[in-house]
Amino acid sequence: MSVQTPIDYTAIRKALVAAVQSATELTCVEEEENIQNVPRPTLPYVSFKIITPGIKTSDDSIEYVSGTTFNRGGQRRMTVSFHCYAPSSDAAYKYMGLWQASLEMKAIQEALRKKGIAVWTIGNVADLSKLLNTGYEKRTHMDVQFGISSNLTEDLGAIETAKVDGSVDTVSQTKTVHISV
Protein backbone atom coordinates (compact mmCIF):
# COMPACT_ATOMS: atom_id res chain seq x y z
CA MET A 1 0.00 0.00 0.00
CA SER A 2 1.42 3.41 -0.91
CA VAL A 3 0.80 6.34 1.37
CA GLN A 4 -0.21 9.63 -0.18
CA THR A 5 1.60 12.68 1.24
CA PRO A 6 0.12 16.18 1.06
CA ILE A 7 3.44 17.89 0.17
CA ASP A 8 6.01 16.56 -2.32
CA TYR A 9 9.30 17.60 -0.69
CA THR A 10 11.37 15.75 -3.31
CA ALA A 11 9.89 17.93 -6.06
CA ILE A 12 10.40 21.06 -3.92
CA ARG A 13 14.08 20.20 -3.32
CA LYS A 14 14.65 19.58 -7.04
CA ALA A 15 12.99 22.90 -7.92
CA LEU A 16 15.13 24.79 -5.39
CA VAL A 17 18.35 23.18 -6.68
CA ALA A 18 17.41 24.07 -10.27
CA ALA A 19 16.53 27.67 -9.33
CA VAL A 20 19.77 28.26 -7.38
CA GLN A 21 21.88 26.74 -10.16
CA SER A 22 20.06 28.78 -12.81
CA ALA A 23 20.51 32.04 -10.88
CA THR A 24 24.10 31.62 -9.64
CA GLU A 25 25.61 28.98 -11.97
CA LEU A 26 26.97 27.28 -8.83
CA THR A 27 26.56 23.71 -7.67
CA CYS A 28 23.70 23.48 -5.19
CA VAL A 29 23.27 20.64 -2.71
CA GLU A 30 20.84 19.84 0.03
CA GLU A 31 22.33 19.60 3.51
CA GLU A 32 21.69 16.10 4.84
CA GLU A 33 22.88 15.28 8.31
CA ASN A 34 22.04 11.61 7.91
CA ILE A 35 24.50 11.05 5.04
CA GLN A 36 27.95 10.73 6.57
CA ASN A 37 31.31 11.51 4.96
CA VAL A 38 30.01 12.76 1.64
CA PRO A 39 32.66 14.88 -0.08
CA ARG A 40 31.78 18.53 -0.45
CA PRO A 41 31.60 20.12 -3.88
CA THR A 42 34.48 22.34 -4.93
CA LEU A 43 34.24 25.98 -3.87
CA PRO A 44 32.16 28.02 -4.44
CA TYR A 45 28.84 26.25 -3.93
CA VAL A 46 25.43 26.74 -2.29
CA SER A 47 23.69 24.41 0.12
CA PHE A 48 20.25 24.56 1.68
CA LYS A 49 18.16 22.92 4.36
CA ILE A 50 14.41 23.06 4.86
CA ILE A 51 14.12 24.17 8.48
CA THR A 52 10.34 24.56 8.81
CA PRO A 53 8.73 22.24 6.29
CA GLY A 54 5.12 23.34 6.28
CA ILE A 55 3.54 25.65 8.84
CA LYS A 56 -0.22 25.83 8.41
CA THR A 57 -1.17 29.45 7.76
CA SER A 58 -4.95 29.30 7.37
CA ASP A 59 -7.91 26.96 7.26
CA ASP A 60 -7.84 24.34 4.54
CA SER A 61 -10.50 24.19 1.87
CA ILE A 62 -12.44 21.09 0.90
CA GLU A 63 -13.27 20.63 -2.76
CA TYR A 64 -15.58 18.02 -4.23
CA VAL A 65 -13.76 16.01 -6.92
CA SER A 66 -16.24 13.31 -8.00
CA GLY A 67 -18.30 10.46 -6.59
CA THR A 68 -17.27 10.25 -2.94
CA THR A 69 -13.83 11.83 -3.42
CA PHE A 70 -12.81 15.17 -1.95
CA ASN A 71 -9.59 17.20 -2.02
CA ARG A 72 -8.51 18.94 1.19
CA GLY A 73 -5.83 21.54 0.74
CA GLY A 74 -4.36 24.83 1.79
CA GLN A 75 -1.29 26.96 1.93
CA ARG A 76 1.74 26.31 4.09
CA ARG A 77 4.79 28.41 4.95
CA MET A 78 8.17 26.75 4.51
CA THR A 79 11.45 28.30 5.66
CA VAL A 80 14.64 27.33 3.86
CA SER A 81 18.12 28.20 5.12
CA PHE A 82 20.66 28.80 2.33
CA HIS A 83 24.46 28.83 2.79
CA CYS A 84 27.11 29.85 0.29
CA TYR A 85 30.64 28.50 0.74
CA ALA A 86 33.43 30.33 -1.09
CA PRO A 87 37.19 30.90 -0.95
CA SER A 88 36.69 34.50 0.26
CA SER A 89 34.09 36.51 2.15
CA ASP A 90 33.61 38.79 -0.86
CA ALA A 91 32.87 35.84 -3.13
CA ALA A 92 30.43 34.35 -0.61
CA TYR A 93 28.63 37.73 -0.33
CA LYS A 94 28.60 38.09 -4.11
CA TYR A 95 26.93 34.75 -4.75
CA MET A 96 24.44 34.94 -1.89
CA GLY A 97 23.59 38.52 -2.91
CA LEU A 98 23.04 37.26 -6.44
CA TRP A 99 20.68 34.53 -5.17
CA GLN A 100 18.89 37.08 -2.96
CA ALA A 101 18.37 39.45 -5.92
CA SER A 102 17.39 36.59 -8.24
CA LEU A 103 14.51 35.64 -5.95
CA GLU A 104 12.96 39.00 -6.94
CA MET A 105 13.29 38.27 -10.66
CA LYS A 106 10.23 37.19 -12.62
CA ALA A 107 12.00 34.29 -14.39
CA ILE A 108 13.05 32.65 -11.10
CA GLN A 109 9.68 33.30 -9.48
CA GLU A 110 7.91 31.85 -12.53
CA ALA A 111 10.09 28.71 -12.52
CA LEU A 112 9.40 28.17 -8.82
CA ARG A 113 5.69 28.97 -9.19
CA LYS A 114 5.36 26.30 -11.91
CA LYS A 115 6.57 23.82 -9.26
CA GLY A 116 4.05 25.09 -6.69
CA ILE A 117 6.45 27.34 -4.75
CA ALA A 118 5.81 31.04 -4.10
CA VAL A 119 8.50 33.41 -2.83
CA TRP A 120 7.13 35.10 0.30
CA THR A 121 9.90 36.67 2.42
CA ILE A 122 13.51 37.05 1.35
CA GLY A 123 15.83 37.38 4.32
CA ASN A 124 19.06 39.28 4.84
CA VAL A 125 22.47 37.98 3.85
CA ALA A 126 24.62 37.36 6.93
CA ASP A 127 28.28 36.48 7.41
CA LEU A 128 27.95 33.01 8.88
CA SER A 129 31.72 32.67 9.32
CA LYS A 130 31.64 35.60 11.75
CA LEU A 131 28.53 34.35 13.57
CA LEU A 132 30.03 30.89 14.10
CA ASN A 133 33.58 32.17 14.63
CA THR A 134 34.93 29.95 11.85
CA GLY A 135 37.36 32.20 10.07
CA TYR A 136 38.94 29.33 8.14
CA GLU A 137 35.80 28.84 6.07
CA LYS A 138 34.07 31.75 4.34
CA ARG A 139 30.33 31.38 4.12
CA THR A 140 27.18 33.44 4.05
CA HIS A 141 23.67 32.64 5.19
CA MET A 142 20.14 33.66 4.24
CA ASP A 143 16.72 32.37 5.28
CA VAL A 144 13.83 32.55 2.82
CA GLN A 145 10.16 31.86 3.43
CA PHE A 146 8.24 30.22 0.63
CA GLY A 147 4.56 29.48 0.22
CA ILE A 148 3.73 25.92 -0.79
CA SER A 149 0.49 24.03 -1.16
CA SER A 150 -0.69 21.02 0.75
CA ASN A 151 -3.24 18.78 -0.95
CA LEU A 152 -4.63 15.47 0.17
CA THR A 153 -7.36 13.52 -1.58
CA GLU A 154 -9.70 11.40 0.48
CA ASP A 155 -12.43 9.00 -0.56
CA LEU A 156 -15.21 9.01 2.00
CA GLY A 157 -16.78 5.90 0.52
CA ALA A 158 -20.45 5.26 0.02
CA ILE A 159 -23.01 3.63 2.24
CA GLU A 160 -24.04 0.57 0.27
CA THR A 161 -27.04 -0.44 2.39
CA ALA A 162 -28.81 0.84 5.45
CA LYS A 163 -31.31 -1.02 7.62
CA VAL A 164 -34.09 1.07 9.07
CA ASP A 165 -36.52 -0.15 11.66
CA GLY A 166 -38.60 1.58 14.26
CA SER A 167 -41.84 1.88 16.12
CA VAL A 168 -44.65 4.35 16.69
CA ASP A 169 -46.35 4.82 20.05
CA THR A 170 -49.84 6.06 19.15
CA VAL A 171 -50.69 7.02 22.74
CA SER A 172 -47.70 9.35 23.33
CA GLN A 173 -47.30 10.18 19.62
CA THR A 174 -43.57 9.33 19.71
CA LYS A 175 -41.64 7.68 16.95
CA THR A 176 -38.47 5.65 17.42
CA VAL A 177 -36.24 5.00 14.42
CA HIS A 178 -33.08 2.90 14.36
CA ILE A 179 -30.71 3.10 11.43
CA SER A 180 -27.78 0.74 11.13
CA VAL A 181 -25.21 0.80 8.40
pLDDT digits (tens, 9 = 90+) for 98-110: 999 999 999 999 9
Number of H helices, E strands in the chain: 4, 9
Longest dimension (CA), the chain: 94
The span from the CA of 158 to the CA of 163, in Å, is: 15
* From 31-35, 58-62, 64-68, 137-141, the region with the lowest mean pLDDT: 31-35
Mean pLDDT along residues 28-48: 82
> CB–CB of 136/52 below 8 Å?
no
- pLDDT tens-digit series, residues 43-90: 999 999 999 888 777 777 777 778 788 877 778 899 999 999 999 889
Q: Is the pLDDT of residue 35 over 70?
A: no
Percent of the chain with pLDDT over 90: 44
The whole model's pTM is what? 0.76
Q: CATH classification of 9-180, choosing from 2.60.40, 3.40.50, 3.10.620, 3.30.2000? A: 3.30.2000
> CB–CB of 173/120 below 8 Å?
no
Name the residue among 154, 148, 153 with its Cα closest to residue 9: 148
Give the pLDDT of residue 12. Answer: 93
Q: Is the pLDDT of residue 133 over 60?
A: no
